[in-house]
């Protein structure tokens, strides 16, 4: 069950909202917890028990980690973190590790078995939530949750369980007490954000998916400069509208339930440096690695070389967090290397002229697009083939490609999506989609969202839905 399916939109969500509205205020967490576990079970099946087991262990660990608790708190913390990471490593990376060992062993004529485990949905996200919980409690930043239902609500809350945003415990701890007084106001505030995300996902991202899939499925011997750039730019837009659309829907759903989830995107493709890009893209993941990996390693306070080392470690982990494939590792190293270069030569700071800012924005966007080729490709061979065509212009057959593209409605959509992300004032932050006292802006916003949601609902009903891209992580 996904946010953009008839089952969720027309049955699950209305029932949950109705229950939250009519149930006593003190039942809110219980309603959300039960609904969330049911939501997860419909997709995860038996691996739901893995989530339940992890929640039991981390809940009990949290009770032993509060300052002043008896016993060795540090030992409990290390044990909880090792257990969380161990579960993630086994279920997400054991298959990849045994594949590599089997490939090496085959060189000397030894056959080793390869382990294949079904990847539990959202394991990367709820593992990071658990680690955030035990660390924040250990540090004394927030008290441990005494009520198991409140803990389940935090970890399993269905808006963010499967693909984020990654909510650090300190960000939501104060919201878990059930002080919800304005339930209708929350629904009225959250629904437009949910509707915006639905339109991003269904109208734009899903419509671009066939075009992107066709480009990346092109055999290497038939790949051209035009196909490579069309696929790379298409995927750059598809991934943004898919993932930011999911985040918008999650934030809107959370608000309708009475929770304020953190923002996850802030016009990332308007960045003028890679450093700025990572302050704007998947911000909840960047903040998590900053607080629980980069700063504990010493951050930028331990000298230049150790700063570079810390950045390298963070982005190796960032790459592998996304998936057990060498393409993700290279993608992480690519971005980590660019960040080191920017810091080394001071490109990430200092005033720049308008012309230089435009040039930097273009260069940053091109580098990000190249990086996404690693992210999307099935293996490194395909990635380097496509990047080779990106970097070496080949205008043979370009005219025919342009003529064919001009008759393709998805190209029109791609151009429109590109215009949205590069225009100076992003519509998401403009008066036509945000709160405004201007009656014309309010009417335009309502009209736009009504048309968009209606069209998205038609697409959902017609069965054009494809899973969110970040479900695989």
Active site residues: 322
Specify burial of residue 1 (Cβ count, 10 A radius: 0-12, 13-18, 19+). middle
d(CA 200, CA 468): 11
How does DSSP classify residue 471?
Answer: G
Contact 163, 197 (CB under 8 A): no
d(CA 428, CA 245): 11
181: how many CB neighbours lie within 10 A of its CB?
8
Tokens 């919800």 belong to residue: 180
| Residue 35, both tokens | 């609904």
- Which 3-state string (H, E, C) describes 381-429? HHHHHHHHHHHCCCCCCHHHHHHHHHCCHHHHHHHHHHHHHHCCCCHHH
Tokens 């809107």 belong to residue: 252
- Structure-derived torsion over alpha carbons of residues 368, 369, 375, 381, reported in degrees to the nearest 10: -120
Contact 102, 33 (CB under 8 A): no
Contact 65, 181 (CB under 8 A): no
3 state SS of 158 = helix
- Structure-derived torsion over alpha carbons of residues 415, 418, 423, 426, reported in degrees to the nearest 10: 120
d(CA 6, CA 157): 20
Contact 157, 16 (CB under 8 A): no
What are the DSSP calls for 354-372, one per residue?
HHHHHHHHHHHHHHHHHHH
Give ∠ CA 192-196-200 in degrees, rounded to 5. 170
Contact 183, 20 (CB under 8 A): yes
How does DSSP classify residue 45?
Answer: G
d(CA 352, CA 367): 19
Burial 263-292 (b: 16+ CB within 10 A, else e): ebbbbbbbbbbbbbbbebbbbbbbbbbebb
2 closest CA partner among 36, 43, 38, 41 = 43
């Amino acid at each position: 069950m996904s946010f953009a399916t008839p089952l969720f939109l027309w049955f699950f969500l209305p029932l949950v909202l109705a229950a939250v509205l009519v149930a006593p205020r003190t039942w809110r967490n219980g309603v959300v917890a039960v609904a969330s576990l049911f939501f997860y079970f419909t997709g995860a099946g038996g691996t739901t028990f893995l989530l339940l087991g992890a929640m039991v262990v981390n809940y009990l660990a949290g009770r032993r980690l509060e300052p002043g608790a008896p016993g060795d708190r540090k030992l409990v913390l290390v044990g909880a973190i090792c257990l969380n990471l161990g579960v993630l490593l086994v279920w997400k990376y054991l298959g990849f590790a045994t594949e590599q060992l089997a490939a090496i062993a085959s060189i000397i004529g030894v056959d080793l078995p390869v382990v294949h485990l079904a990847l539990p949905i959202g394991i990367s996200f709820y593992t990071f939530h658990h680690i955030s919980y035990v660390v924040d409690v250990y540090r004394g930043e927030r008290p441990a949750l005494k009520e198991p239902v409140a803990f389940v609500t935090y970890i399993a809350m269905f808006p963010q369980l499967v693909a984020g945003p990654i909510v650090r415990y300190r960000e939501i701890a104060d919201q878990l007490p059930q002080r919800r007084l304005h339930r209708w106001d929350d629904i009225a505030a959250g629904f437009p954000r949910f509707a915006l995300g639905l339109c991003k996902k269904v109208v734009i991202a899903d419509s671009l998916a066939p075009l992107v899939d066709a480009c990346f499925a092109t055999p290497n011997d038939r790949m051209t400069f035009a196909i490579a750039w069309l696929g790379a730019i298409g995927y750059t837009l598809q991934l943004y509208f898919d993932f930011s659309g999911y985040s918008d829907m999650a934030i809107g759903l959370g608000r309708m339930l009475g929770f304020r989830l953190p923002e996850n995107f802030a016009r990332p493709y308007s960045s003028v440096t890679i450093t700025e890009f990572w302050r704007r893209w998947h911000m909840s993941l960047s903040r998590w690695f900053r607080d629980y990996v980069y700063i504990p390693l010493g951050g930028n306070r331990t000298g230049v070389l150790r700063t570079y080392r810390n950045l390298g470690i963070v982005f190796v982990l960032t790459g592998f967090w996304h998936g057990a494939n060498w393409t993700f590792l290279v993608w992480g190293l690519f971005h980590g290397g660019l960040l080191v270069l920017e810091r080394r030569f001071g490109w990430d700071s200092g005033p720049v002229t308008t012309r230089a800012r435009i040039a930097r924005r273009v260069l940053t966007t091109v580098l990000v697009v190249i990086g996404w080729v690693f992210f999307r490709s099935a293996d490194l061979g395909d990635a380097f083939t496509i990047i080779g065509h990106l970097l070496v212009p080949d205008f043979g057959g370009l005219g025919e490609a342009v003529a064919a593209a001009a008759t393709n409605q998805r190209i029109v959509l791609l151009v429109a999506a590109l215009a949205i992300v590069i225009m100076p004032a992003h519509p998401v932050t403009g008066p036509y989609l945000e709160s405004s006292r201007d009656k014309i802006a309010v009417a335009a916003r309502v009209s736009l969202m009504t048309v968009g949601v209606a069209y998205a609902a038609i697409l959902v009903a017609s069965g054009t839905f494809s899973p969110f891209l970040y479900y695989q992580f």
